[in-house]
Amino acid sequence: MREMFEVTSRTEVRRLPARAIYDRAAAHAILDEAFVCHIAFVGDDGHPVAIPTNFARDGERLLIHGSPASRMLRTLGAATPLCATVTLVDGLVLAKSAFHHSVNYRCVVAFGTATAITDLDDKRRALDVIVEHIVPGRSADARAASDKELKATLVLALPLEEVSVKVRTGGPLDDEVDLALPAWTGVVDIETRYGAPPDAPDYARFYQRPGRTARPSP
C-alpha cells in the first residue's frame, strides 16, 4: 500500500482533479529532483510575498536555511503560515487550437508552519542534508560549518503533512472538430543540463539531478 497524504480543503485540487495526486512517493520524487522552491507567506504589511529559495527534503520534512537577518526566515521562524511550492516544467504542449495549448509540469504544494532547528548537532546535520540535496557528493569536500557559522545560519523545517501534487504529461488534447487543421501538434521537450569545467570533481562535472534519467534527443 502506498502512503498517501490526507486531503484537506486546502490541498483538494478542484480544478482538473484528474491531474491531482496525493501520494507521498510522487511528492518525494519531485522534491528530490528539484532544489528551488517558492515560499508564499504574508508579510508584516499584510501583503502576500513569494520568494524563491533552496531547499532539501529530509524524510518527511522540507528544510530551508539562510541568514537570521533575512526577513523571510525570521517571519517564517515565528510560525507564520506558509506555502512551499516546487515546480518542474517538462514540456510545452502545442495543440491545434490556441485554447488547448498546455504545459507538462510536475508540482508539489505544501502548506504548514516551519520550526527553527536550534540544537547545533541537528543543525549541522540539516546543513549537510541541504548541501547533499543540492550537490550530491559535495558535503565530503566542502569545509563543514564552524560553530560560529552554524549560529549565523537559521535552519527551518516544514513537516510534509498538508501536501498536494499536480502533474500533467502527454500530448495535446484537441477538440475533434480541430483535428483536420494543418498545424503541427506535439510537445517541445524541456530539459535542464548541467556542466562544470574538466578540472571539477565528477559530482560537479557530471552533475545530474537524482532520479532524472536523460531523455533521448529528439
Member of 32, 161, 204, 212 binding a second copy (CB under 8 A): 204
Query: Which grid cell sits at 17?
Result: 482533479
CA–CA gap between residue 159 and residue 111 (Å, rounded): 9
Smallest distance, a second copy to C-beta of residue 26, A:
17
Closest to 7 (Cα-Cα) out of 30, 23, 18, 19:
23
Closest to 149 (Cα-Cα) out of 64, 90, 32, 68:
68
Give the nearer residue to a second copy in terms of CB position, either 3 or 81: 81
Cβ pair 100, 128 in contact under 8 A = no
Which residues sit opposite 156 in a β-bridge? Answer: 64, 116
Member of 3, 25, 79, 101 binding a second copy (CB under 8 A): 101
CA–CA gap between residue 56 and residue 195 (Å, rounded): 21
Smallest distance, a second copy to C-beta of residue 78, A:
14
Smallest distance, a second copy to C-beta of residue 108, A:
10
Q: Is 67 in the site for a second copy (CB under 8 A)?
A: yes
Q: According to CB under 8 A, which residues from 6 to 45 bind a second copy? A: 9-10, 14-15, 36, 38-43, 45
Place of cell 517541445: 188
Member of 4, 25, 79, 142 binding a second copy (CB under 8 A): 142
Q: According to CB under 8 A, which residues from 105 to 134 bind a second copy? A: 105, 107, 109, 111, 127-128, 131, 134
DSSP designation for 71: H
Smallest distance, a second copy to C-beta of residue 51, A:
7
Give the nearer residue to a second copy in terms of CB position, either 3 or 50: 50
Smallest distance, a second copy to C-beta of residue 171, A:
11
Residues composing the chain: 218
Q: Is 78 in the site for a second copy (CB under 8 A)?
A: no
CA–CA gap between residue 103 and residue 37 (Å, rounded): 19
